[in-house]
Amino acid sequence: MKHYPFILFYLFCNVFIYAFHGGFWVYVFCFLAFSAVVVWGSFDIELGYFVNSITHKRTKTKEVALTFDDGLTEFTPKFLDILKENNIKATFFCIGKQIKKYPETFQRIIAEGHTIGNHTLSHSNTTGLLSTSKMVEQIEKCDEVMAKIGNITTNLYRPPFGVTNPNIAKAIKKLTKKASDGM
């Protein structure tokens, strides 16, 4: 995890407070600035503030990575038809509850050679507020649904709404360690 921005920001605040003799408004300013940086880091996944992420990749060939979120839905088969007609592969970040709702579509995605990613079990609006253990549970339960319905595992994960925070980072770290330990 990258802590350099946090450390640099902390040092900047301390120097700023020292330079202005630590008045009340200086502390308020530093608190607000720090809060703004944390919020920005939580909602802009490209920053990699809490979690390293792949948001773009430079290659020598011109190519596009096509991804779908929040599925499956009743429209997914139509997307699959278009992808098949044009011989295009995509990555589908799937929600466990939606996989249960559309198991045949999930199996079709796999059969047609698309890549699968985990997008949590329920894609709750409160995902960014969940504890580390609840986040681990959301990811693991989605993995279980994928394994049961599609006989597939994945190491790809996309957080709902692109929100990251220390709890999500800890959950990913726990699950990565668990996977590397072979459990």
Note the pLDDT tens digit of each residue in 42-78: 677 776 767 776 666 677 787 788 899 888 999 999 9
Q: How far, CA to CA in Å, does 8 sit from each of 32, 41, 75, 179?
A: 16, 14, 46, 33
Name, of 26-30, 56-60, 156-160, the range with top average pLDDT. Answer: 156-160
Backbone phi, psi, residue 4, to 5°: -60, -45
In this prediction, residues 96-108 reach a mean pLDDT of 97
CATH code assigned to 67-180: 3.20.20.370
pLDDT more than 70, % of the chain: 84
Report DSSP state, residue 113.
Answer: T
Average pLDDT over residues 138-142: 96
Rounded to two decimals, the pTM is 0.76
What average pLDDT score do residues 94-116 get?
97
The answer, yes or no, to whether residue 124 has pLDDT greater than 70, is yes
Average pLDDT, the chain: 84
Confidence category of residue 145, pLDDT binned at 50, 70, 90? very high
